[in-house]
Amino acid sequence: MAAPVREPDSVRREPDIGEQTWVDELVTAAVDGVPFYRDHLAHAGLSGIASVPSFDKQMTAGYGRFPLSAGGAVGAHRVVATSGTTGDRLFVAFDRTDWDSVGTWLEQVGATVGMGAHDVLLNTHCYGLWVGGPVLDLLAQRAGACVVPLGPVSPTVVLQLLGDGVGTAISATPSYLRRLIEAADAIGVDLARTGLRLGFVGAEAAEPTLRRKILSRLPAGFHWVELYGLTETCGPSIAFAPDPEVPELILNTHDFLVEVLDLKTDEPASPGAVGELTLTTRRAGSRSPLIRYRTKDLVCVTAGDPRTPTHISQILGRADDAMKVGGVLMYPSAVAEIISGVLPPSAEWRGTARRNGPECALIVQVEASPELCQAVELAFSERVGMDVTVVPVDGDQLSRSREKTRRIVVESVDDGDLASPRPGRRRGC
């Protein structure tokens, strides 16, 4: 396990400028340049961020393919897009200043964890319209490291490179690391004997139990660096966790005003309470500004004033993904934590939550023996009092994703027959 890394003095802090001044400039520029903001902020006051209404991605529907970008793609430096798994794909255009600002943040992340010219990054994040691949390339470049731009290649290729002594760092989703362990086991490779020492992990949540199990299969001292960001923020430019033993994220308060808002109002969440992570771009000249943008990610403030935190918890769940199973309210992250506590790190699983009104019935398929499946059912019963049906399936029967993995699918049904095989409207969690 890596030794704790403490936050350096160089982590960027908010600029010394009055809030009302820069908020007024940001709102004025956004209203002038972005039709969505022209309408959304038509009646907003100019007296600081609290006078501005929040919004989420769904509210931008009907404003074209680039609803948050002034001028769209023309004159931009780079265009990226969301995956479209929770609605229509949202395209975002960034200018060179946006890109350079992200590079400065990532350079400081690299310096904090000791990445430099002696490192070779195996980048397995996606390219194309995805932001992950090119931004992790940028991290390596700004840190002075070599980058091998693999994309979501077969884990066998990564194992071959590691076997040849190529690669001290890897960027990946937690799901890809699971697949890497599975592939290593299949051919008898001991990942603990490779040269890996750094991992930049993001794009999906990693519950603590799974993270500990993956780390136990990697070299002693391997440093897991959690990255957080959105397509709308030009990738992982919001926060990072330099210490895997401390379950919190350090925020980039130089480039973003970060708020944790009540789930129903635009007021700050109470200290210690779970709220929705909400972002505002600090630079008025940004091509794609965010102004009180609700991310749907749930967090708690762990340091700083609740209105302007400097540290937050790791992501606890999604505001729109709560499930009530047998009267017990659960988020997919909590479901994953219980399952990961029983299964080996390479075992895949998928869940189906059949939603009927406020209630769900949860059925989980697991690549494991019937005995392990019974152990998972018992864990749910003992830990949260929830009845879950766990079904064993043959190994390799469940698909392996090279991108983000959606392990729980919610099916909405219109009648009370939760046992009916007729599928309803589906979405991923």
Which residue did the predictor score with more confidence, 410 or 418?
Answer: 410
Amino acid identity, residue 220? Answer: A
Q: Is 55 helix (H, G, I), strand (E, B) or coil?
A: strand
* Average pLDDT rounded to a whole number, residues 392-414: 66
Q: Is 131 helix (H, G, I), strand (E, B) or coil?
A: coil
pLDDT above 70: residue 411: no
Distances (CA, A) of 190 to 164, 194, 203, 220, 231: 14, 7, 26, 12, 35
Q: Is 165 exposed, middle or buried (0-12, 13-18, 19+ CB in 10 A)?
A: exposed
Question: CA 152, CA 125: separation in Å to the nearest integer?
Answer: 6
Tokens of 99: 């890109």
User: How does pLDDT run across 107-142, given as a tens digit for each residue?
Assistant: 999 999 999 999 999 999 989 998 999 999 999 999
pLDDT above 70: residue 146: yes
* Average pLDDT rounded to a whole number, residues 279-297: 92
Which range is least confidently modeled, 164-178, 336-350, 352-366?
352-366
At residue 399, the pLDDT reads: 67
Cα angle at 121 between 116 and 94, to 5 degrees?
A: 90
Gyration radius of the chain over CA positions: 22
Q: Are 55 and 77 in contact (CB under 8 A)?
A: no
Distances (CA, A) of 259 to 94, 235, 256, 315: 23, 18, 9, 14
pTM here?
Answer: 0.77
Computed over every residue of the chain, the mean pLDDT equals: 83
Question: CA 413, CA 111: separation in Å to the nearest integer?
Answer: 50
Domains of the chain, residue spans = 1-318, 321-428
Type and span of the H or E element at 65? none
pLDDT above 70: residue 16: no
Question: In this structure, which topology does domain 1-318 adopt according to CATH?
Answer: Rossmann fold (3.40.50)
Report residue 91: phi and psi, to 5°.
-95, 140
Nearest residue to 27 (alpha-carbon basis) of 16, 43, 11, 12 = 43
CATH of 321-428, one of 3.30.70.370, 3.30.300.30, 3.40.1160.10, 3.30.70.20: 3.30.300.30
At residue 3, the pLDDT reads: 41
At residue 134, the pLDDT reads: 94
